[in-house]
Amino acid sequence: MKAPAFSYLRADTLAHASALLREHGDAARLLAGGQTLLATLNMRLSKPQLLIDIGRLEALRGIELRDGFLRIGAGVRHVDIERSAVVAQHLPLLTQAAPHVAHAAIRNRGTLGGSIAFADPAAEWPACALAADAELILGDGARERRVMAGDFFIDLYETDLRPHEVLIALEFPLPGPARRFAFAELARRHGDYAIVGIALAADVTGGVLSDLRIAFFGMGNTPMRALGAETCLAGSAADAATMSRAVDSLDEDMRPDADLHSSAAAKRHLASVLLRRAVHDILQPEPVR
Amino acid sequence: MELQGEQRINASRDEVWRALNDPRVLAKCVPGCEEIRRISDTEMEARLLAKIGPVRAHFSGRIVMHDVVPPESCRIAFQGSGGAAGMATGESKVTLTAADGGTRLNYTVQAAVGGKLGQIGGRLINASARKMADEFFQALNEQLAPDAAPASVPPASVAASSPSAAPSRRLPAVAAGVPSAPSATGPVWASEFQRILWLVIGTGVGWIACRAFSL
Protein backbone atom coordinates (compact mmCIF):
# COMPACT_ATOMS: atom_id res chain seq x y z
CA MET A 1 0.00 0.00 0.00
CA LYS A 2 1.00 3.61 -0.46
CA ALA A 3 0.78 6.39 2.07
CA PRO A 4 -2.24 8.71 2.02
CA ALA A 5 -1.58 12.20 0.63
CA PHE A 6 0.29 14.55 2.97
CA SER A 7 2.15 17.85 2.81
CA TYR A 8 5.88 18.00 3.40
CA LEU A 9 8.00 20.82 4.81
CA ARG A 10 11.67 20.82 5.65
CA ALA A 11 12.50 22.68 8.84
CA ASP A 12 15.51 25.02 8.57
CA THR A 13 15.96 25.57 12.27
CA LEU A 14 14.75 24.16 15.55
CA ALA A 15 12.56 27.23 16.06
CA HIS A 16 11.03 26.69 12.62
CA ALA A 17 10.20 23.04 13.41
CA SER A 18 8.69 24.06 16.73
CA ALA A 19 6.63 26.85 15.15
CA LEU A 20 5.23 24.38 12.62
CA LEU A 21 4.33 21.97 15.43
CA ARG A 22 2.53 24.75 17.27
CA GLU A 23 0.66 25.76 14.14
CA HIS A 24 -0.49 22.30 13.04
CA GLY A 25 -0.78 20.42 16.34
CA ASP A 26 -1.74 16.77 16.16
CA ALA A 27 -2.12 16.96 12.37
CA ALA A 28 1.68 17.25 11.97
CA ARG A 29 4.39 14.66 12.61
CA LEU A 30 8.15 15.10 12.82
CA LEU A 31 10.01 13.09 10.21
CA ALA A 32 13.56 12.02 11.08
CA GLY A 33 14.66 8.60 9.84
CA GLY A 34 11.07 7.64 9.04
CA GLN A 35 11.57 3.98 9.88
CA THR A 36 8.43 3.74 12.00
CA LEU A 37 6.44 6.71 10.76
CA LEU A 38 6.58 5.93 7.04
CA ALA A 39 5.70 2.27 7.59
CA THR A 40 2.69 3.38 9.62
CA LEU A 41 1.65 5.76 6.86
CA ASN A 42 2.10 3.16 4.16
CA MET A 43 -0.17 0.83 6.06
CA ARG A 44 -2.64 3.69 6.44
CA LEU A 45 -2.71 3.35 10.18
CA SER A 46 -2.21 7.08 10.56
CA LYS A 47 -3.06 10.06 8.34
CA PRO A 48 -1.09 13.14 9.37
CA GLN A 49 -1.64 16.12 7.10
CA LEU A 50 1.91 17.40 7.37
CA LEU A 51 5.35 15.85 7.78
CA ILE A 52 8.02 18.18 9.15
CA ASP A 53 11.43 16.95 8.04
CA ILE A 54 14.04 17.58 10.75
CA GLY A 55 16.74 15.59 8.95
CA ARG A 56 18.86 18.64 8.13
CA LEU A 57 18.86 20.33 11.52
CA GLU A 58 22.47 20.97 12.53
CA ALA A 59 21.51 21.05 16.21
CA LEU A 60 20.61 17.34 16.16
CA ARG A 61 23.90 16.13 14.70
CA GLY A 62 27.13 14.74 16.01
CA ILE A 63 28.73 12.43 18.56
CA GLU A 64 31.13 14.33 20.76
CA LEU A 65 32.89 14.30 24.11
CA ARG A 66 32.20 17.28 26.34
CA ASP A 67 33.54 17.67 29.83
CA GLY A 68 32.34 14.57 31.61
CA PHE A 69 29.70 13.70 29.02
CA LEU A 70 29.26 11.86 25.79
CA ARG A 71 26.74 13.84 23.77
CA ILE A 72 24.91 12.14 20.95
CA GLY A 73 22.60 14.24 18.76
CA ALA A 74 19.03 13.01 18.37
CA GLY A 75 19.45 12.91 14.60
CA VAL A 76 22.41 10.49 14.76
CA ARG A 77 21.60 7.26 12.95
CA HIS A 78 21.79 3.85 14.61
CA VAL A 79 24.56 2.80 12.25
CA ASP A 80 26.71 5.79 13.25
CA ILE A 81 26.51 4.73 16.90
CA GLU A 82 27.25 1.11 15.98
CA ARG A 83 30.45 2.13 14.15
CA SER A 84 31.60 5.00 16.32
CA ALA A 85 35.04 4.50 17.90
CA VAL A 86 34.28 7.19 20.49
CA VAL A 87 31.14 5.38 21.61
CA ALA A 88 32.93 1.99 21.68
CA GLN A 89 35.65 3.45 23.88
CA HIS A 90 33.55 5.48 26.30
CA LEU A 91 30.12 3.89 26.36
CA PRO A 92 30.41 0.29 25.12
CA LEU A 93 26.83 -0.42 26.25
CA LEU A 94 25.57 1.39 23.15
CA THR A 95 27.98 -0.49 20.90
CA GLN A 96 26.76 -3.78 22.35
CA ALA A 97 23.10 -2.82 21.93
CA ALA A 98 23.27 -1.32 18.41
CA PRO A 99 23.35 -4.60 16.43
CA HIS A 100 20.07 -5.58 18.12
CA VAL A 101 18.26 -2.49 16.79
CA ALA A 102 16.12 -3.92 13.95
CA HIS A 103 17.96 -4.79 10.72
CA ALA A 104 20.93 -3.20 8.98
CA ALA A 105 18.70 -1.45 6.41
CA ILE A 106 16.68 0.17 9.19
CA ARG A 107 19.81 1.11 11.17
CA ASN A 108 21.09 2.95 8.10
CA ARG A 109 18.24 5.45 8.28
CA GLY A 110 16.60 5.27 11.70
CA THR A 111 17.78 7.71 14.37
CA LEU A 112 18.54 7.57 18.08
CA GLY A 113 16.15 10.46 18.77
CA GLY A 114 13.38 8.83 16.78
CA SER A 115 13.61 5.70 18.87
CA ILE A 116 13.74 7.59 22.17
CA ALA A 117 10.91 10.02 21.36
CA PHE A 118 8.72 7.24 19.96
CA ALA A 119 9.33 5.29 23.20
CA ASP A 120 8.36 1.82 22.10
CA PRO A 121 8.33 -0.26 25.29
CA ALA A 122 10.39 -2.99 23.64
CA ALA A 123 13.00 -0.75 21.98
CA GLU A 124 16.68 -0.94 22.90
CA TRP A 125 17.71 2.73 23.13
CA PRO A 126 15.25 3.84 25.81
CA ALA A 127 16.46 1.04 28.10
CA CYS A 128 20.11 1.89 27.38
CA ALA A 129 19.42 5.55 28.18
CA LEU A 130 17.88 4.46 31.48
CA ALA A 131 20.71 2.08 32.40
CA ALA A 132 23.40 4.61 31.48
CA ASP A 133 21.51 7.38 33.33
CA ALA A 134 21.34 9.65 30.30
CA GLU A 135 19.99 13.16 30.36
CA LEU A 136 17.71 14.21 27.53
CA ILE A 137 17.84 17.70 26.09
CA LEU A 138 14.53 18.97 24.77
CA GLY A 139 13.91 22.32 23.15
CA ASP A 140 11.80 24.48 20.89
CA GLY A 141 14.52 26.75 19.54
CA ALA A 142 13.97 29.39 22.22
CA ARG A 143 14.13 27.39 25.43
CA GLU A 144 15.91 24.20 26.38
CA ARG A 145 15.16 21.87 29.24
CA ARG A 146 16.75 18.72 30.54
CA VAL A 147 15.03 15.56 31.72
CA MET A 148 16.62 12.43 33.13
CA ALA A 149 15.83 9.26 31.18
CA GLY A 150 14.23 7.87 34.34
CA ASP A 151 11.62 10.65 34.27
CA PHE A 152 11.09 10.86 30.53
CA PHE A 153 9.20 7.65 29.80
CA ILE A 154 5.76 8.00 31.34
CA ASP A 155 3.51 5.31 29.90
CA LEU A 156 2.87 3.35 26.74
CA TYR A 157 4.16 5.64 23.94
CA GLU A 158 3.79 8.54 26.34
CA THR A 159 6.79 10.72 27.17
CA ASP A 160 7.53 14.02 28.85
CA LEU A 161 8.12 15.61 25.42
CA ARG A 162 5.68 18.50 24.99
CA PRO A 163 3.73 18.85 21.74
CA HIS A 164 5.86 21.71 20.36
CA GLU A 165 9.22 20.37 21.55
CA VAL A 166 11.93 18.49 19.70
CA LEU A 167 14.36 16.03 21.27
CA ILE A 168 17.75 17.57 20.59
CA ALA A 169 20.37 15.27 22.09
CA LEU A 170 21.23 12.76 24.79
CA GLU A 171 24.06 13.30 27.24
CA PHE A 172 25.54 10.20 28.84
CA PRO A 173 27.76 10.71 31.90
CA LEU A 174 31.20 9.24 31.17
CA PRO A 175 31.61 6.04 33.16
CA GLY A 176 34.37 5.69 35.75
CA PRO A 177 37.14 3.09 35.42
CA ALA A 178 35.22 0.41 37.37
CA ARG A 179 32.01 0.79 35.34
CA ARG A 180 30.98 -2.24 33.28
CA PHE A 181 28.01 -2.85 31.01
CA ALA A 182 26.08 -5.83 29.71
CA PHE A 183 23.28 -6.07 27.19
CA ALA A 184 21.11 -9.00 26.14
CA GLU A 185 17.74 -9.55 24.54
CA LEU A 186 15.51 -12.35 23.35
CA ALA A 187 13.50 -11.96 20.16
CA ARG A 188 11.63 -14.44 18.01
CA ARG A 189 13.85 -13.61 15.05
CA HIS A 190 16.92 -11.43 14.98
CA GLY A 191 15.86 -7.86 14.22
CA ASP A 192 12.36 -8.21 15.67
CA TYR A 193 11.35 -6.13 18.61
CA ALA A 194 12.53 -7.94 21.71
CA ILE A 195 10.16 -10.06 23.75
CA VAL A 196 12.28 -9.11 26.74
CA GLY A 197 15.64 -7.37 26.96
CA ILE A 198 18.05 -6.08 29.58
CA ALA A 199 20.63 -3.30 29.79
CA LEU A 200 22.84 -3.51 32.85
CA ALA A 201 25.38 -1.07 34.23
CA ALA A 202 27.41 -1.63 37.40
CA ASP A 203 30.72 -0.91 39.05
CA VAL A 204 32.78 -4.08 39.38
CA THR A 205 35.60 -3.97 41.90
CA GLY A 206 37.41 -7.22 42.67
CA GLY A 207 34.44 -9.24 41.44
CA VAL A 208 31.97 -7.36 43.66
CA LEU A 209 29.05 -5.43 42.16
CA SER A 210 27.98 -1.98 43.27
CA ASP A 211 25.95 1.02 42.04
CA LEU A 212 23.84 -1.13 39.74
CA ARG A 213 21.33 0.10 37.21
CA ILE A 214 19.31 -2.74 35.72
CA ALA A 215 16.90 -1.66 32.96
CA PHE A 216 14.47 -4.14 31.42
CA PHE A 217 12.52 -3.50 28.24
CA GLY A 218 9.49 -5.35 26.90
CA MET A 219 8.38 -6.02 30.48
CA GLY A 220 5.92 -3.16 30.87
CA ASN A 221 4.64 0.00 29.25
CA THR A 222 8.01 1.73 29.57
CA PRO A 223 11.58 0.59 30.11
CA MET A 224 11.83 -0.06 33.83
CA ARG A 225 14.46 -0.58 36.47
CA ALA A 226 14.57 -3.76 38.55
CA LEU A 227 15.13 -1.91 41.82
CA GLY A 228 14.74 -5.00 44.00
CA ALA A 229 17.38 -6.89 42.04
CA GLU A 230 19.68 -3.86 42.16
CA THR A 231 19.45 -3.80 45.95
CA CYS A 232 19.95 -7.59 46.24
CA LEU A 233 23.03 -7.66 44.08
CA ALA A 234 24.73 -4.51 45.41
CA GLY A 235 27.81 -5.41 47.45
CA SER A 236 27.74 -9.05 46.39
CA ALA A 237 29.73 -11.21 44.00
CA ALA A 238 26.42 -12.58 42.67
CA ASP A 239 26.76 -15.98 44.36
CA ALA A 240 24.01 -18.52 43.72
CA ALA A 241 21.91 -17.59 46.76
CA THR A 242 22.02 -13.82 46.05
CA MET A 243 21.30 -14.41 42.40
CA SER A 244 18.22 -16.45 43.15
CA ARG A 245 16.97 -13.79 45.56
CA ALA A 246 17.52 -11.16 42.85
CA VAL A 247 15.58 -13.26 40.36
CA ASP A 248 12.71 -13.69 42.83
CA SER A 249 12.55 -9.94 43.34
CA LEU A 250 11.73 -9.46 39.64
CA ASP A 251 8.23 -10.80 40.30
CA GLU A 252 7.70 -7.96 42.78
CA ASP A 253 8.97 -5.23 40.47
CA MET A 254 7.49 -6.29 37.15
CA ARG A 255 4.06 -7.39 36.06
CA PRO A 256 4.33 -7.77 32.32
CA ASP A 257 1.24 -7.99 30.12
CA ALA A 258 0.88 -11.03 27.91
CA ASP A 259 0.92 -10.46 24.18
CA LEU A 260 -0.18 -12.63 21.26
CA HIS A 261 3.02 -14.66 21.40
CA SER A 262 4.18 -14.82 25.00
CA SER A 263 2.27 -15.25 28.22
CA ALA A 264 3.10 -13.10 31.22
CA ALA A 265 4.69 -16.13 32.91
CA ALA A 266 6.91 -16.76 29.88
CA LYS A 267 8.07 -13.14 29.95
CA ARG A 268 8.88 -13.34 33.64
CA HIS A 269 10.86 -16.50 33.01
CA LEU A 270 12.79 -14.91 30.14
CA ALA A 271 13.56 -11.88 32.31
CA SER A 272 15.14 -14.13 34.92
CA VAL A 273 17.21 -15.90 32.24
CA LEU A 274 18.42 -12.53 30.94
CA LEU A 275 19.26 -11.22 34.39
CA ARG A 276 21.45 -14.27 35.06
CA ARG A 277 23.13 -13.91 31.66
CA ALA A 278 23.78 -10.20 32.00
CA VAL A 279 25.21 -10.52 35.52
CA HIS A 280 27.40 -13.40 34.37
CA ASP A 281 28.66 -11.33 31.43
CA ILE A 282 29.39 -8.24 33.48
CA LEU A 283 31.53 -10.24 35.91
CA GLN A 284 33.76 -11.65 33.19
CA PRO A 285 37.29 -10.22 33.17
CA GLU A 286 37.24 -7.42 30.64
CA PRO A 287 39.39 -7.72 27.51
CA VAL A 288 42.16 -5.12 27.38
CA ARG A 289 40.95 -1.99 25.59
CA MET B 1 -6.51 -11.63 23.76
CA GLU B 2 -7.75 -11.90 27.32
CA LEU B 3 -7.83 -9.21 29.89
CA GLN B 4 -9.21 -9.01 33.36
CA GLY B 5 -9.16 -6.39 36.00
CA GLU B 6 -10.73 -4.92 39.07
CA GLN B 7 -11.56 -1.29 39.83
CA ARG B 8 -12.91 0.47 42.88
CA ILE B 9 -15.29 3.31 42.18
CA ASN B 10 -16.36 5.84 44.78
CA ALA B 11 -20.09 5.67 44.10
CA SER B 12 -22.96 3.37 44.95
CA ARG B 13 -23.70 0.32 42.84
CA ASP B 14 -26.88 1.87 41.44
CA GLU B 15 -25.03 5.00 40.39
CA VAL B 16 -22.29 3.01 38.68
CA TRP B 17 -24.86 0.87 36.93
CA ARG B 18 -26.77 3.93 35.71
CA ALA B 19 -23.53 5.55 34.48
CA LEU B 20 -22.50 2.44 32.57
CA ASN B 21 -25.88 2.50 30.82
CA ASP B 22 -25.83 6.20 30.01
CA PRO B 23 -24.43 7.02 26.56
CA ARG B 24 -23.63 10.57 27.69
CA VAL B 25 -21.46 9.36 30.56
CA LEU B 26 -19.82 6.70 28.41
CA ALA B 27 -19.05 9.23 25.69
CA LYS B 28 -17.14 11.31 28.25
CA CYS B 29 -15.23 8.34 29.67
CA VAL B 30 -14.32 6.14 26.69
CA PRO B 31 -10.87 7.31 25.52
CA GLY B 32 -11.09 8.94 22.10
CA CYS B 33 -14.88 8.53 21.93
CA GLU B 34 -16.48 10.77 19.34
CA GLU B 35 -20.05 9.54 19.49
CA ILE B 36 -22.22 7.02 21.28
CA ARG B 37 -25.83 6.51 20.24
CA ARG B 38 -28.38 4.34 21.94
CA ILE B 39 -30.35 2.20 19.51
CA SER B 40 -32.43 0.21 21.95
CA ASP B 41 -32.36 -0.65 25.65
CA THR B 42 -29.57 -3.14 25.10
CA GLU B 43 -27.83 -1.81 22.00
CA MET B 44 -25.52 1.12 21.33
CA GLU B 45 -23.49 2.35 18.41
CA ALA B 46 -20.13 4.04 18.96
CA ARG B 47 -17.49 5.84 16.97
CA LEU B 48 -14.04 6.43 18.44
CA LEU B 49 -10.55 7.49 17.48
CA ALA B 50 -8.03 5.00 18.83
CA LYS B 51 -4.66 6.63 19.50
CA ILE B 52 -2.06 3.97 20.20
CA GLY B 53 1.48 5.15 19.58
CA PRO B 54 1.76 5.96 15.90
CA VAL B 55 -1.68 4.60 15.11
CA ARG B 56 -4.65 6.93 14.65
CA ALA B 57 -7.53 4.75 13.60
CA HIS B 58 -11.24 5.54 13.51
CA PHE B 59 -13.33 2.67 14.75
CA SER B 60 -17.05 2.38 14.49
CA GLY B 61 -18.78 -0.41 16.26
CA ARG B 62 -21.84 -1.89 17.83
CA ILE B 63 -22.29 -2.87 21.46
CA VAL B 64 -24.99 -5.31 22.55
CA MET B 65 -25.73 -6.10 26.19
CA HIS B 66 -27.24 -9.39 27.26
CA ASP B 67 -27.78 -11.46 30.42
CA VAL B 68 -28.55 -8.12 32.04
CA VAL B 69 -29.10 -8.36 35.83
CA PRO B 70 -29.39 -4.77 37.12
CA PRO B 71 -27.50 -3.53 39.05
CA GLU B 72 -25.25 -6.56 39.33
CA SER B 73 -23.85 -7.84 36.10
CA CYS B 74 -24.14 -8.07 32.35
CA ARG B 75 -22.37 -9.39 29.33
CA ILE B 76 -21.35 -6.96 26.62
CA ALA B 77 -20.68 -8.16 23.10
CA PHE B 78 -18.89 -5.76 20.80
CA GLN B 79 -17.84 -5.66 17.22
CA GLY B 80 -15.86 -2.86 15.66
CA SER B 81 -14.34 -2.08 12.31
CA GLY B 82 -11.46 0.31 11.71
CA GLY B 83 -11.34 0.28 7.92
CA ALA B 84 -7.81 -0.39 6.67
CA ALA B 85 -6.54 -0.74 10.23
CA GLY B 86 -8.46 -3.91 11.00
CA MET B 87 -11.34 -5.09 13.13
CA ALA B 88 -12.06 -6.29 16.62
CA THR B 89 -14.75 -8.53 18.06
CA GLY B 90 -15.19 -9.73 21.57
CA GLU B 91 -17.17 -10.12 24.70
CA SER B 92 -16.84 -8.66 28.14
CA LYS B 93 -18.43 -9.55 31.44
CA VAL B 94 -18.87 -6.84 34.04
CA THR B 95 -19.82 -7.55 37.66
CA LEU B 96 -20.59 -4.91 40.30
CA THR B 97 -20.39 -5.60 44.03
CA ALA B 98 -20.93 -3.15 46.85
CA ALA B 99 -17.77 -2.70 48.88
CA ASP B 100 -17.24 -0.40 51.88
CA GLY B 101 -18.89 2.80 50.73
CA GLY B 102 -18.10 2.29 47.06
CA THR B 103 -18.44 -0.26 44.34
CA ARG B 104 -16.06 -2.94 43.19
CA LEU B 105 -16.17 -3.50 39.45
CA ASN B 106 -14.69 -6.68 38.01
CA TYR B 107 -14.32 -7.13 34.30
CA THR B 108 -13.07 -9.78 31.94
CA VAL B 109 -12.61 -9.25 28.24
CA GLN B 110 -12.02 -11.77 25.50
CA ALA B 111 -11.31 -10.17 22.16
CA ALA B 112 -9.96 -11.07 18.78
CA VAL B 113 -8.21 -8.43 16.72
CA GLY B 114 -7.70 -8.90 13.01
CA GLY B 115 -6.20 -7.06 10.07
CA LYS B 116 -3.10 -4.90 10.23
CA LEU B 117 -3.76 -3.80 13.75
CA GLY B 118 -3.54 -7.45 14.79
CA GLN B 119 -0.40 -8.02 12.75
CA ILE B 120 1.72 -5.15 13.91
CA GLY B 121 -0.13 -4.34 17.09
CA GLY B 122 -0.22 -7.93 18.38
CA ARG B 123 2.78 -7.23 20.54
CA LEU B 124 1.03 -4.36 22.30
CA ILE B 125 -2.67 -5.18 22.11
CA ASN B 126 -2.94 -6.21 25.75
CA ALA B 127 -0.95 -3.27 27.07
CA SER B 128 -2.96 -0.86 24.92
CA ALA B 129 -6.29 -2.37 25.95
CA ARG B 130 -5.31 -2.22 29.61
CA LYS B 131 -4.25 1.40 29.26
CA MET B 132 -7.56 2.30 27.64
CA ALA B 133 -9.45 0.43 30.36
CA ASP B 134 -7.51 2.30 33.06
CA GLU B 135 -8.23 5.64 31.41
CA PHE B 136 -11.91 4.72 31.12
CA PHE B 137 -12.31 3.81 34.79
CA GLN B 138 -10.34 6.81 35.97
CA ALA B 139 -12.63 9.08 33.94
CA LEU B 140 -15.69 7.19 35.22
CA ASN B 141 -14.50 7.64 38.78
CA GLU B 142 -14.04 11.38 38.18
CA GLN B 143 -17.51 11.60 36.67
CA LEU B 144 -19.13 9.73 39.55
CA ALA B 145 -17.21 10.76 42.64
CA PRO B 146 -18.35 14.43 42.66
CA ASP B 147 -21.91 13.27 41.98
CA ALA B 148 -21.84 11.12 45.09
CA ALA B 149 -21.60 14.24 47.23
CA PRO B 150 -24.79 16.29 46.67
CA ALA B 151 -26.95 13.89 48.72
CA SER B 152 -25.28 15.08 51.89
CA VAL B 153 -24.65 18.69 50.83
CA PRO B 154 -27.42 21.04 51.85
CA PRO B 155 -28.70 22.95 48.80
CA ALA B 156 -28.81 26.12 50.89
CA SER B 157 -25.02 26.29 50.77
CA VAL B 158 -24.85 26.84 47.01
CA ALA B 159 -25.68 30.53 47.08
CA ALA B 160 -23.31 31.26 49.93
CA SER B 161 -20.41 29.40 48.34
CA SER B 162 -20.34 31.39 45.11
CA PRO B 163 -18.07 34.25 46.24
CA SER B 164 -15.18 31.95 47.09
CA ALA B 165 -14.44 28.98 44.85
CA ALA B 166 -11.99 27.10 47.02
CA PRO B 167 -14.28 25.87 49.83
CA SER B 168 -16.99 24.79 47.39
CA ARG B 169 -14.47 22.63 45.61
CA ARG B 170 -13.20 21.10 48.81
CA LEU B 171 -16.63 20.29 50.17
CA PRO B 172 -17.57 17.33 47.91
CA ALA B 173 -14.41 15.51 48.97
CA VAL B 174 -15.38 15.87 52.61
CA ALA B 175 -18.94 14.84 51.93
CA ALA B 176 -17.88 11.89 49.79
CA GLY B 177 -15.97 10.49 52.71
CA VAL B 178 -18.95 10.75 55.03
CA PRO B 179 -21.08 7.78 53.91
CA SER B 180 -18.25 5.39 54.70
CA ALA B 181 -18.34 6.33 58.40
CA PRO B 182 -19.59 3.30 60.32
CA SER B 183 -21.47 5.27 62.99
CA ALA B 184 -25.13 5.96 62.19
CA THR B 185 -25.09 9.37 63.86
CA GLY B 186 -21.91 10.40 62.05
CA PRO B 187 -23.36 11.46 58.69
CA VAL B 188 -26.26 13.35 60.26
CA TRP B 189 -23.96 15.22 62.59
CA ALA B 190 -21.53 15.94 59.77
CA SER B 191 -24.17 17.34 57.44
CA GLU B 192 -25.58 19.48 60.27
CA PHE B 193 -22.09 20.71 61.01
CA GLN B 194 -21.58 21.58 57.34
CA ARG B 195 -24.87 23.43 57.24
CA ILE B 196 -23.77 25.55 60.19
CA LEU B 197 -20.29 25.98 58.73
CA TRP B 198 -21.73 27.24 55.46
CA LEU B 199 -24.12 29.53 57.27
CA VAL B 200 -21.17 31.03 59.14
CA ILE B 201 -19.04 31.34 56.01
CA GLY B 202 -21.96 32.76 54.06
CA THR B 203 -22.72 35.33 56.75
CA GLY B 204 -19.03 36.17 57.04
CA VAL B 205 -18.57 36.64 53.30
CA GLY B 206 -21.77 38.66 53.12
CA TRP B 207 -20.63 40.86 55.95
CA ILE B 208 -17.20 41.41 54.36
CA ALA B 209 -18.85 42.15 50.99
CA CYS B 210 -21.16 44.72 52.61
CA ARG B 211 -18.22 46.34 54.33
CA ALA B 212 -16.19 46.39 51.12
CA PHE B 213 -18.93 47.99 49.07
CA SER B 214 -19.88 50.55 51.65
CA LEU B 215 -16.31 51.78 51.95
pLDDT digits (tens, 9 = 90+) for B45-63: 988 887 777 777 788 888 8
Name every chain B residue with its beta carbon within 8 A of the beta carbon of A155. Answer: 131
Q: Which of B2, B52, B116 sits opposite A157 (nearest CB)?
A: B52
Chain B residue with CA closest to A255: the answer is B127
Higher-confidence position of A38 and B207: A38
Chain A residue with CA closest to B124: the answer is A259
Contact A74, A169 (CB under 8 A): yes
Amino acid identity of residue A239, one-letter, is D
CB spacing of B127 vs A257 below 8 angstroms: yes
CB spacing of A118 vs B122 below 8 angstroms: no
Chain A residue with CA closest to B116: the answer is A43
Mean of per-residue pLDDT scores for chain A: 94
To the nearest whole Å, the CA of A214 is away from the closest chain B CA by 22
Q: Is the ipTM of this complex over 0.90?
A: no
Q: What is the pLDDT of residues A62-87, one digit of tens each?
A: 999 999 999 999 999 999 999 999 99
Which whole number is the average pLDDT over B6-28?
88
Share of chain A above pLDDT 90, in %: 87
> pLDDT value at position B119?
66
CB spacing of A43 vs B122 below 8 angstroms: no
> pLDDT value at position B164?
37
CB spacing of A45 vs B124 below 8 angstroms: no
Name every chain A residue with its beta carbon within 8 A of the beta carbon of B126. Answer: 257-259
CB spacing of A258 vs B52 below 8 angstroms: no
Q: Which residues of A240-263 are buried (b: 16+ CB within 10 A; e: fewer)?
A: eebbeebbebbeebbebbbbeebe
Q: What is the pLDDT of residues A102-117, one digit of tens each?
A: 999 999 999 999 999 9
Chain A residue with CA closest to B49: the answer is A46
Q: Is A122 exposed, middle or buried (0-12, 13-18, 19+ CB in 10 A)?
A: buried
Give Cβ neighbours of residue B115 (< 8 Å, ≥ 6 apart).
Answer: B82, B84, B85, B86, B87
Q: Could you give the CA distance from residue B182 to residue A209 in angstroms, rounded to a whole number?
A: 53
Taking only the tens of pLDDT, chain A with its 289 residues reads: 789 999 999 999 999 999 999 999 989 999 999 999 998 898 888 889 999 999 999 999 999 999 999 999 999 999 999 999 999 999 999 999 999 999 999 999 999 999 999 999 999 999 999 999 999 999 999 999 999 999 999 998 899 999 999 999 999 999 999 999 999 999 988 888 899 999 999 999 999 999 999 999 999 999 999 999 999 999 999 999 999 999 999 999 998 888 778 889 999 999 999 999 999 999 998 765 5
